[in-house]
Structures are given as structure tokens and as C-alpha cells.
Amino acid sequence: MDFEKDSLEWTQELLGRSKHMPLNIGCCTAACRPKHLDLVLDLAPQCRTFCLKVKGFTEGFLNAIQKPAPHLEVFGVYPHWKGEAGVTTLPKILFNGEAPKLRKVHFNCCRFDITTAAFSQLTCLEVSWAHGFAGPTVSEWLNLLNNIPRLKKLLISMSISRTLPSTVPLPRAQLPHLSDLSLSSPLAECSSFLRHIDIPPLERLSLTTYRLHFNPDSEFIVRFLEERMDGWAHNMVNCECLASIEPHSLWLRCSNHDPINPDILVTFDWEGSQDVPEQTTAPMICFSLPEVFFPIFRGVRSLQMHSSYLLDEYDPPSDSESTSIKILGLWILRFFHNLVILHLVGYLHLILFPHLEQQFYESSAKEVQDVILPSLQALEFSACDFKMDDGRRLKVLRAFLGLRARAGKPIKTISFKYYDLGEGYQTIGEEFGVDISS
């Protein structure tokens, strides 16, 4: 049923025909319009999936989610947040404590009681709150998770409250079945949470830390990743990787099967960090992280590199920004030995290719194989208008192709995505024996 498109009369007819069959009410079909919302709320005890987008927690809504829900398996609440007034609190006792089949819960911008008994059988819990609102503390989260022993998927996004230092030891949460963890939080809260959970090897991890600076918390995060890299690398063959460095953040994504849902997504954001000068933070992070990701990088066959610094050729990066981009080049030189396809977004090649060439000529004979990327066969370019070239882009590209050819590792194909090319680029194919497409 589509509560937005179908008429009220037809919706009523369909619901009437359903009698007592379990219903699936998804957040994309349940409208916020009162006449439809009332229909949905009356059917709450009949639902197998009950996920709603609501403008606020009305009396009717609160009453509906306190009734027994014997069929309910998936419960989600997505309020339309409009400032502090839009934050809502769920009742302490959900579904009168009678939701024996409930397995998945999704909450966005709403508070809930962490002691609710309705969560005890969950296999999936996802909680996201807006910036600026206090969620449970680390201690409260750990106590809650200890009461959900069957949990397989956990997402906590901006939902851990900062607490004052305390001498009281934090509890440990045992999550023996967890396989998918997504955590987004400032560095201190993120580190504290991860230090106190006992989990098996993960199949999927999404980790975002804010206000990053170098201290014991950041060192722990690195160790946490290091301990798990070999396990992920064992299951990732011919994987894809995306690396993006922004003014205040570094973003890495590695995927073995589904690029939309990567196996590993790690974001480090150092905006607002007071301990380390901003101009030195990015290079320090870029130098340290490749070592952590080496077990995965060595299996990567396709790499996409992106930097918002170089989406506009006429707004060049500062010296510190340019240094960060060059460090990205060092990643390729040192770790991506099996890379076959390199996809560059924007004008990244204008800094990266000359840097690669410089590294090649400064290397000893023993280092050449590492520097030259021995498996690289294809280049792809996007978000870069080569047709309006003033000569510089073509010169940089020709120099890089010449370098590869002289080293006995020629590029075989080049794809210029979404752009027509000038005559100069067509001659590259004949000059270097490269298959050109656009």
C-alpha cells in the first residue's frame, strides 16, 4: 500500500480486506497526513513491520505503541526534526512488554528508555540522533547491550553522551554474535565505547571519529583496526577501494562485493581539534594509516581517488593541501602493488602524476618495481574537463605515459568519462599504443 498515492477510500478498502493478516507498514509508505496516520495507528497490533515518519508523538501514536504487538518483528520511528521541540521521547514500556517476535529496531531523533524489556530479543539495533542532543552515556549503552546478547547488527550515530571523568570502572558488554558495527562519535566517546565491548571478528565495519587528535584514544583506535585487518583481508579478493581527503577529514572505503554497502568504511575528522595544528594533522594521519590498511590494500585491484581540493582547477590548493595530496600518492607507491585500475576524480592527476614521476627517478633499481605499480593497466578520469585543456593536462598525462612505457609497464587503456576530447588526446593512443575511450 502506498499511503501517499492511494486514495483514502482505497486504502481503507485494502486494510479492511486484510482482516487479521500481519501487515508491513514501511516508513516510505506511511504518510504523516493525519487521516492516513490514524488508519495506521489503529492497525499497530496487527503489524509485522511498523515503521513511521511522524511530525511528533501525538497521544494516538503513544497509545498505539503501548499495546501488545504479537506479530511485530521490525519497529522504526523517524520524527521530522525541527529544532529542540522536535526531539521526542518514547514510553518506558513499549508494546506493554508483549512483542515476543521483535528483532529489529530503528530510531532516529528520539529518546528511549534503555531498560525497556522489548529489546531483549533484538538482532539489529540502529540509533541515530541529530547533532547537539544527548543520548545515553557510554556506561548506559554498555548496560543496554549486555541485555541484548543476540545482537548481530549495531548502528550508533551521534548518540553517545559525553561524560565527566570518573573513577568508577565501566562495565563490559558481551556481544558474541555481532558481525556488523557502525559507530559515529567524537574520538573520546568512540574510543571509550570500543574499549569496553567484547566482539568476534566483524564482517562489516563503519567507523567515524570526530575531533581527532593524537593521544591514547587515537592510538587505541589504530590498534582496534590493526587487530582486525588480517581477518578482513583474508575475505577480500579483487576488492575496490575509494580514498578521499577533504579539508578536515580522511575517508576510506573498501568493498569486496557491493560498493554501495562497503565492508569497511573509516572516516577520520580532525576539524575542531585543539591539540595538533591543522596544517600538520592531515599529513600525520595520512602517513600513519596506510600501515594499518596494508593487509587490505595489497589485495585491491581498483582504486578511486578523490579530493574536493582539486575539483576546480582554477582554485588551487594551498601548500599544506598539496602536501596531503602527494601523500595519497605515496600510498599508491607503497601499498597498491596489485592495482590494475586507477580512477582519478577531478584534477588530482596534475599533482599526483608529477609526484609519481619524481619518486620513480629518485628510486634505486631495487625500489623501481614498488614505485612503478607493476600491475597498473588502466586509467580512468572523471569530473575533469579535458576538452578545455590549455596544454598542461595533456603534457602531464603524456609524461606519465612515457614514464610507464620506458619502465616496461605501459598503460593499456584510458577512459575519459562523460567528456569529449580534443585532437591532442586522440594522438596519445597512436603515440603510446593506448586504447582511448570517452
- Tell me the pLDDT tens digit for each residue of 14-55: 777 777 788 888 765 444 556 667 777 888 888 899 988 877
pLDDT band with cut points at 50, 70 and 90 for residue 266 = confident
Asked if the structure places residue 411 within a domain, the reply is yes
Asked if the structure places residue 387 within a domain, the reply is yes
* Span 420-435, average pLDDT: 80
In the prediction, which pLDDT does 31 show?
Answer: 45
Asked if the structure places residue 194 within a domain, the reply is no
Residue 183 vs residue 58, higher pLDDT: 183
- Grid cell, residue 387, equals 576538452
In the prediction, which pLDDT does 290 show?
Answer: 62
Distance from C-alpha of 59 to C-alpha of 54, rounded to nearest angstrom: 12
Q: How many domains does the chain have?
A: 1
Residue 353 vs residue 177, higher pLDDT: 177
pLDDT band with cut points at 50, 70 and 90 for residue 126 = very high
pLDDT band with cut points at 50, 70 and 90 for residue 277 = very low
- Grid cell, residue 26, equals 514501511
pLDDT band with cut points at 50, 70 and 90 for residue 315 = low
- Judge contact between 398 and 377, C-beta under 8 A: no
* Span 193-222, average pLDDT: 88
Asked if the structure places residue 288 within a domain, the reply is yes
In the prediction, which pLDDT does 95 show?
Answer: 92
Residue 438 vs residue 288, higher pLDDT: 438
- Judge contact between 195 and 171, C-beta under 8 A: no
pTM: 0.85
* Span 376-405, average pLDDT: 84
Residue 311 has pLDDT above 60, yes or no: no
- Grid cell, residue 128, equals 541515530
Residue 4 has pLDDT above 70, yes or no: no
* Span 362-371, average pLDDT: 63
In the prediction, which pLDDT does 340 show?
Answer: 93
Which range scores top for mean pLDDT: 18-22, 79-83, 331-335?
Answer: 18-22
Place of cell 600491475: 375
Long-range contacts, 161-166 (Cβ 8 Å, 24+)? 161/134, 161/135, 161/136, 161/137, 161/189, 162/186, 162/188, 162/189, 163/137, 163/138, 163/139
Which range scores top for mean pLDDT: 152-166, 229-243, 304-318?
Answer: 152-166
Which helix H or strand E contains 54, and what residues bound it? strand 47-54
Of 42-56, 99-113, 325-339, the one with minimum mean pLDDT is 325-339
Of 181-190, 214-223, 352-361, 384-393, the one with minimum mean pLDDT is 384-393
Q: Which of 211, 172, 221, 193 is nearest to 127 (CA)?
A: 193
Q: What percent of the chain has pLDDT over 90?
A: 24
pLDDT band with cut points at 50, 70 and 90 for residue 425 = confident
Domain range enclosing 281: 217-438
In the prediction, which pLDDT does 284 show?
Answer: 55
Distance from C-alpha of 107 to C-alpha of 126, rounded to nearest angstrom: 6
Which helix H or strand E contains 406, and what residues bound it? helix 392-406
Asked if the structure places residue 131 within a domain, the reply is no
pLDDT band with cut points at 50, 70 and 90 for residue 180 = very high
In the prediction, which pLDDT does 285 show?
Answer: 57
Of 126-135, 215-224, 322-331, the one with minimum mean pLDDT is 322-331
Residue 382 has pLDDT above 60, yes or no: yes
Of 129-143, 267-281, 357-371, 404-418, the one with minimum mean pLDDT is 267-281
- Grid cell, residue 329, equals 600518492
Whole-number mean pLDDT of the chain? 80
* Residue spans of alpha helices (H) in 236-386: 278-297, 319-335, 349-362, 368-371
Asked if the structure places residue 130 within a domain, the reply is no
Residue 423 vs residue 295, higher pLDDT: 295
Bridge partner residues of 76 (DSSP): 51, 106
In the prediction, which pLDDT does 275 show?
Answer: 46
In the prediction, which pLDDT does 7 show?
Answer: 66
Q: How distant, in Å, are the alpha carbons of 12, 93, 179, 186, 363 from that of 102?
A: 26, 14, 19, 31, 60
What's the half-sphere exposure (Cβ side, CA atoms, 13 Å) at 343?
14
Asked if the structure places residue 292 within a domain, the reply is yes
In the prediction, which pLDDT does 427 show?
Answer: 83
In the prediction, which pLDDT does 212 show?
Answer: 75
Bridge partner residues of 181 (DSSP): 154, 205
Asked if the structure places residue 79 within a domain, the reply is no
**Torsion, Cα of 322, 324, 327, 328 (10° steps):** -100
Number of helices and strands in the chain (H, E): 12, 20
* Span 127-154, average pLDDT: 86
